[in-house]
Amino acid sequence: MNKKEMIAMLLAGGQGSRLGILTKQIAKPAVMFGGKYRIIDFPLSNCINSGIDTVGVLTQYEPLLLTKHIGIGIPWDLDRRTGGVTVLPPFVKGNEGSWYSGTANAIYHNIRYIDEYNPKYILVLSGDHVYKMDYSAMLEEHKKNNSDATIAVIEVPLDIANQFGIMNTNEEGRIVEFEEKPEHPKSNLASMGIYIFTWDVLKEALIKDNKIHEQSDFGKHIIPDMIESQKNVFAYRFNDYWRDIGTIDAYWKANMELTHTVPVFNLYDEFWKIYTNIEHQLPQYVGEKAVLQQSLVSEGCEIYGQVYNSVLGPKVIVEEGAVISNSIIMSETIVRRGAHLETCIVSEKCDIGENTQIGIGENVPHINKPHIYSTGITTIGDNTIIPGDVKIGKNCEIGGHTLKEHYVNGNLESGQSLVM
Amino acid sequence: MRAIGIILAGGKRSTLGVLTKQRNLAAMPIGGSYRAIDFALSNLSNSGIKKVAVISQYSARSLADHIGSSKWWDFGRKKTGLFLFTPHMINQDGFGFRGTADSIFQNIEFLKKSNEPYVVITSGEQIFRLDYEKVIKYHEQKNADITIVCKDLRTFEVEDYGVIGLDDDNKMTDFEEKPLNPQYTTVSLGMYVISRELLIKLLEELEQDGRYSIVNDIIIRYRKKLKIYGYLFDDYWKRIRDINEFYKINMDFLTPEVRNLFFNTYPSISTKAKDEPPAKFNVQAKVVNSIISGGDIINGNIENSVLFRKVFVGEGTVVRDSIIMEGATIGKGCVIENAILDKQVFVSDGQKVIGTKDKIILLEKRNIV
């Protein structure tokens, strides 16, 4: 019988709706970050770097790209004879199937997968965050405290603590109260969505809770219930780089931070490498008239134009005369001659036409979705074609194959959507 | 599968000086991200040849490291594989290979245990792209015993090659190894297609006669007995002959034709994954007409150069017409011109390393300036 000390379950089924058009066809964990990476690369790499070789990835929303990216786990060394990575989509049971209706519900549906490995502990992760963390150190803490559950926490500024799940702890680190997005937070210790459970305790809780709550959730049900029933629930303090990149603005800022001369997040660490699935490890070519400053540029890019303060994914082509500033351009996008891109996010496999200008004009929040697009960043979804000689404002949302006639007088005013 | 592959990676050339002191020719860094042998391995794999032996005489360590995991070229399958054979591993008495044919003969079990009808023999130091399936088809069509891949160099300055004479049907009529007075402009590229059974038979005959060379003892000696054909290849092809040629091959990657051929043409040339982060260009960076690779951090000026992975270039430094290999660190205010910096060379602040077009300066691995 298999016997793994700890296996990981990675919740990767969420849409990440606050990332707007970026997650229209791509699950949030598969969204590219830092040039060549996808968000899920961070927890997956952390797993293998922490010595965890069995990872179940729970997918649900738009799983195509995610499943293809993970494959059999070769880039993360997770192609194993026992264990390794397993993609776990929702499935049909008997005559009826059901979607994963909550974070704990998703794990509940996969109890059989977990039992297959007979683990003592289980690590629950989400595919939404960018950080480097040694889960084995957290497990040591969990064992030392003889915990039933250990929750990784990070200090956040008190004034934004109301956006997080806040843990109130006593002096020995035991969690005495958990408040989801409290109006008046009593502490600034935010849950990072990283949990270690002793498996038999969690299994029992999952079975019990799924009888009560249809949308069984860790933050809403499992954790508060464990605290209430006097289980040993401890906080594990983490005080290194960690970013929740759930909004367009946070996503853009976290990328921009990487372009700083000495970035807060070190991707150059030889002993904690972040791995990703990239087909070919091509070099990149910088042409005769190119200007490249304060930027990250990935494999296989060809740069003939000007790039300032930007992050470029693999195989991006920037033609001569094109100017890109303060922007994120994802893989296999082409920015044609004379195009000007200012403060925008362009997803994968896009085509930006000649002399088109993006990110100009007034900073008007999006007319229908101000909660998504309001900080001046224009966002372009994957596989989008934008014709030449059009002018596009700020806080715009564009997706699909757009034609010149879709732009009124060749313009898309700030705060407008154009999704085909 | 129709063929197995043999890559002869034995070479070591004094003309490459310290570059091959601890490195097999086949492990020479090419074009920012590759090793020379990646081209041979990818060509074989892309042609559907998935069982490949790499036979190496010297300095196999860097090579073993590079091909240690066969998955990057898609070889590591149940019925396929990538094998590295060195004399040390198979000879009890410890002598090396006595020649190209001997190196294959000593691994004849590899041939005997296979059941593919053909063998493709190639070498690990050539930079090119070729579909061997086409060569095998040609070989069958001509009903040849041996097919030699060759190229018309359109010059009589071919003293360094095996020069081949072909008739109108491309049947070989003459072959001279490194001729003093070349009669032809077509040269053998040292790549052969031969049936596996014939190769086994020839190698066993050669061994009995104490003969060890493919060129002298098979191609030249059997030129009248066997039907040997030339397959004319007429695309980009370079061989790492000496330092100048090595420098030129790398500089060729600054031309769009060569980049398109190797980077943008399907199927691609594969190499071992290194998982470096994206290259970083800081505020003072100024890069013109250069190859930059993953993990590079650029603060200075780079012109007409090829940078391999994880190179650091400090502020105010100028790197011009140079090749900088993996992990080199160049401090602030340096000038590097017409130079080849081997892996992990360290150039401290303000130093100058200046060669000329005719005399490229070479800094040995881990050298500190």
User: Is A280 an 8 Å CB contact of chain B?
Assistant: yes
What local confidence, expressed as pLDDT, does residue B94 receive? 52
Which chain A residues are within 8 Å of B288, Cβ to Cβ? 286-290
| Alpha-carbon span A341 to A327, nearest angstrom | 7
User: Is B281 an 8 Å CB contact of chain A?
Assistant: yes
More confident site: B264 or A315 = A315
| Alpha-carbon span A294 to A300, nearest angstrom | 18
What local confidence, expressed as pLDDT, does residue B21 receive? 65
Q: pLDDT for A30-44, tens place per residue? A: 999 999 999 999 999
Which chain B residues are within 8 Å of A264, Cβ to Cβ? none
Nearest alpha carbon to residue B169 among B238, B242, B229:
B229
Mean pLDDT of A285-294: 94
What local confidence, expressed as pLDDT, does residue B95 receive? 59
Hey, what are A321's tokens?
Answer: 């005369």
Q: What is the nearest CA distance from B168 to chain A, expressed in angstroms?
A: 41
Interface list for A 5-44 with B (CB within 8 A) = 34-36
Mean pLDDT of A322-337: 97
Confidence tier at A377 by pLDDT (50, 70, 90): very high
Greatest alpha-carbon span in chain A: 69
Residue of B nearest to A300 (CA): B263
Q: Which residues contact B267 (CB under 8 A, 6 or more apart)?
A: B42, B46
What local confidence, expressed as pLDDT, does residue B242 receive? 84
Nearest alpha carbon to residue B333 among B357, B354, B311, B315:
B315
- Across the interface, whether the CB atoms of A274 and B275 are under 8 A apart is answered yes
User: Is B359 an 8 Å CB contact of chain A?
Assistant: no
Which of A267, A272, A279, A281 has the highest number of chain B CBs within 10 A, making it the mutation to test binding with B? Answer: A281
What local confidence, expressed as pLDDT, does residue B10 receive? 67
Residue B278 has its nearest CB partner, among A289, A298, A307, at: A298
- Across the interface, whether the CB atoms of B275 and A298 are under 8 A apart is answered no
What local confidence, expressed as pLDDT, does residue A398 receive? 96
Give phi and psi for B332, each to the nearest 5: -85, 150
Q: Are A368 and A386 in contact (CB under 8 A)?
A: no
Q: pLDDT for A379-399, tens place per residue? A: 999 999 999 999 999 999 999
Mean pLDDT of A216-232: 92
Give phi and psi for B78, each to the nearest 5: -60, -45
Mean pLDDT of B330-338: 95
Q: Which residues contact A196 (CB under 8 A, 6 or more apart)?
A: A6, A121, A122, A123, A124, A135, A138, A139, A142, A147, A149, A150, A236
Q: pLDDT for A90-114, tens place per residue? A: 888 877 778 888 999 999 999 999 9
DSSP string for B126-174: EEE---HHHHHHHHHHTT-SEEEEEEE-SSS--TTSEEEEE-TT-BEEE
Nearest alpha carbon to residue B165 among B153, B183, B142, B148:
B183
- Across the interface, whether the CB atoms of B288 and A285 are under 8 A apart is answered no
pLDDT over 80 (residue B89): no
- Across the interface, whether the CB atoms of B281 and A282 are under 8 A apart is answered no
Q: pLDDT for B186-210, tens place per residue? A: 999 999 999 999 999 999 988 888 8
pLDDT over 70 (residue A349): yes
The distance in angstroms from the start CA to the end CA of chain B is 52
User: Is B273 an 8 Å CB contact of chain A?
Assistant: yes
User: Is B324 an 8 Å CB contact of chain A?
Assistant: no
Q: pLDDT for B246-300, tens place per residue? A: 999 999 999 999 999 998 888 888 888 888 999 999 999 999 999 999 999 999 9
Interface list for B 193-232 with A (CB within 8 A) = none
Q: How many CA atoms lie within 13 A of A366 on its CB side?
A: 22
What local confidence, expressed as pLDDT, does residue A40 receive? 95
User: Is A368 an 8 Å CB contact of chain B?
Assistant: no
Cα–Cα distances (Å) from A336 to A189, A323, A324, A325, A340, in that order, read: 46, 10, 11, 15, 9
Confidence tier at B349 by pLDDT (50, 70, 90): very high
Q: What is the nearest CA distance from A331 to chain B, expressed in angstroms?
A: 12
CB pairs under 8 A between A and B: 106
Mean pLDDT of A305-334: 96
Confidence tier at B122 by pLDDT (50, 70, 90): very high
Residue A293 has its nearest CB partner, among B263, B281, B291, at: B281
- Across the interface, whether the CB atoms of B281 and A276 are under 8 A apart is answered no
In chain A, % of residues over pLDDT 90: 77
Residue of B nearest to A282 (CA): B33
Give phi and psi for A397, each to the nearest 5: -130, 120
What local confidence, expressed as pLDDT, does residue A304 receive? 96
Mean pLDDT of B6-23: 70
- Across the interface, whether the CB atoms of B33 and A292 are under 8 A apart is answered no
User: Is B81 an 8 Å CB contact of chain A?
Assistant: no
pLDDT over 90 (residue A282): no
Q: pLDDT for B226-257, tens place per residue? A: 999 999 999 999 998 888 889 999 999 999 99
User: Is A299 an 8 Å CB contact of chain B?
Assistant: yes
What local confidence, expressed as pLDDT, does residue B14 receive? 61
Cβ neighbourhood burial of A400 (10 Å; 0-12, 13-18, 19+)? middle
| Alpha-carbon span B237 to B59, nearest angstrom | 25
Cβ neighbourhood burial of A250 (10 Å; 0-12, 13-18, 19+)? middle
Hey, what are B136's tokens?
Answer: 């095998």
What local confidence, expressed as pLDDT, does residue B13 receive? 60
Mean pLDDT of B331-355: 93
Cα–Cα distances (Å) from A1 to A116, A118, A119, in that order, read: 8, 8, 11
Identify residue A234 by its one-letter amino acid code: F
What local confidence, expressed as pLDDT, does residue B12 receive? 59
Neighbours of A146 (CB within 10 A): 9
DSSP string for A232-260: -EEEEE--S-EEE--SHHHHHHHHHHTTS
Cα–Cα distances (Å) from A414 to A359, A360, A368, A372, A399, in that order, read: 8, 8, 12, 14, 15
β-strand partners of B83: B53
Q: What is the nearest CA distance from A135 to chain B, expressed in angstroms?
A: 21
More confident site: A398 or B68 = A398
Residue A292 has its nearest CB partner, among B259, B271, B287, at: B287
Q: How many CA atoms lie within 13 A of A261 on its CB side?
A: 9
In chain B, % of residues over pLDDT 90: 53
ipTM, 2 dp:
0.86
Q: pLDDT for A238-263, tens place per residue? A: 999 999 888 999 999 999 999 998 88
pLDDT over 90 (residue B71): no
| Alpha-carbon span A216 to A105, nearest angstrom | 5
Pure H helices in A50-134? 64-70, 103-108, 111-117
pLDDT over 80 (residue A230): yes
Ordered strands of the B301-303 beta sheet: B286-288, B301-303, B318-320, B335-337, B352-354
What local confidence, expressed as pLDDT, does residue B326 receive? 94
pLDDT over 80 (residue A143): yes
Q: Are B191 and B119 in contact (CB under 8 A)?
A: no
User: Is B255 an 8 Å CB contact of chain A?
Assistant: no
User: Is B286 an 8 Å CB contact of chain A?
Assistant: yes
Confidence tier at B50 by pLDDT (50, 70, 90): confident
Q: Are A33 and A80 in contact (CB under 8 A)?
A: no
Nearest alpha carbon to residue A203 among A272, A117, A265, A315:
A117
Q: Are strands A378-380 and A32-33 parallel, antiparallel or unpaired?
A: unpaired
User: Is B31 an 8 Å CB contact of chain A?
Assistant: yes
User: Is A276 an 8 Å CB contact of chain B?
Assistant: yes
Confidence tier at A16 by pLDDT (50, 70, 90): confident
Q: What is the nearest CA distance from B283 to chain A, expressed in angstroms?
A: 5
- Across the interface, whether the CB atoms of B292 and A268 are under 8 A apart is answered no
Residue of B nearest to A302 (CA): B291
Q: Are B67 and B54 in contact (CB under 8 A)?
A: yes
